[in-house]
Structure 1
Amino acid sequence: MKNLKKLTIYGSSTGKRKSIKLDEISILADPATIKRLGLFLINAAYEMETNELEHMHLQDMLGNFSHKRHVDVIAINQKFVKSLKK
């Protein structure tokens, strides 16, 4: 894998609204779900670059999204958002 530019990841605990900066993330899923998540990120990057979008939510792309079964992933275009500190 080639080097990445700056990458910052934020998250929140279950039931909490406040985002915190994370040092790492772990994705617990089967390989097919991880592939679909990768496709979401690739498509989100394309849409943000092509259509100047600020962000995209995984939950908006899934027909069967459930807050009980899934975690929303939000891809944010760094070009538009400089800081997420709350």
Structure 2
Amino acid sequence: MTELGDLKIFGTLEGSDKSQKLDEISILARAEVIRALGVFLINSAYEMDVNDIEHVHLQDSIANFSYENHVDVIAINQERVKLFRK
């Protein structure tokens, strides 16, 4: 695996909109869903590189997204967003 550069992961508690820095994440899903999430992240990175996109929401990539059944994943372009930088 390639060495990771600067990586921070943030999240919100269910029912909250206050972002918190996380030490780790756990993804509970079937293998096919985890693969689809990987494809989403790869495609998001491509969009960031090619089109200088600031961020991409998983909810915008899924036809049947619902907050009752899914969690939104937001890929944020660190080169464009200063909010989360130290």
Shorter-chain TM-score range: over 0.9
The gaps in structure 1 that reach 5 residues or longer are: none
SS in 2 for 1:34: helix
Identity, % of aligned positions: 58
Q: Within 5 Å, which residues of 2 pair with 1:18-37?
A: 18-37=18-37
Deviations 1:12-53 (Å, cap 9, x if unpaired)? 000000000000000000000000000000000000110000
Query: Where has structure 1 moved over 4 Å in runs of 4 or more?
Result: none
Q: TM-score, with normalisation over the residues of structure 2?
A: 0.95
The gaps in structure 2 that reach 5 residues or longer are: none
Paired positions, count: 85
RMSD across aligned positions (CA): 1.1
Higher relative contact order (CA 8 A, sep 6+): 1
SS in 2 for 1:21: strand
